[in-house]
Amino acid sequence: MLFTQTFGSGSTHILFIHGNSQSGKVWEPLIQSANLANKYTLVTVDLPGHGQSFKSATPEIDYSLQGMANLLGDFLETFSMKEYLIVCHSLATNLVAEIAISLKIAGVFF
């Protein structure tokens, strides 16, 4: 299971996805300084094997580019009925690109 943290309670969600060898904590200074939580629901995500997300028993599957993209896609399905944006960098841009065609998102910021 992917670990997430949520800030704010707006109807539009902004999902922050970190890069390689990082965690959702990398986004905390931006979230705290931008004062976005007054208007949006902000969600940080720890990718598989990063931060507080699960450690895989099958790393050859779950930590591959396609495996991580699939796990991220499964998580993003929970937002399919909501308006959301993705903000990502580094490894996360590759993962989002792998599943972009299946996503129903308002936008992506790389």
User: What's the number of domains the chain is made of?
Assistant: 1
Question: Does 18 map to a domain?
Answer: yes
Q: What's 46's DSSP letter? A: E
Residue 102's pLDDT is what?
Answer: 87
Question: Does 1 map to a domain?
Answer: no
The CATH number of whichever domain residue 19 belongs to comes to 3.40.50.1820
Question: Does 35 map to a domain?
Answer: yes
Question: Does 58 map to a domain?
Answer: no
Q: Which residues 6+ apart lie within 8 Å of 107 measured at CB? A: 85, 86
55 HSE (CA, 13 A, CB side): 2
- Over residues 10-33, the mean pLDDT reads 95
Q: Which residue has the higher pLDDT, 27 or 79?
A: 27
- Over residues 89-93, the mean pLDDT reads 96
Q: Which residue has the higher pLDDT, 69 or 34?
A: 69
Question: Does 19 map to a domain?
Answer: yes
Q: DSSP 3-state assignment of 29?
A: helix
Domain that holds residue 67: 7-53+63-109
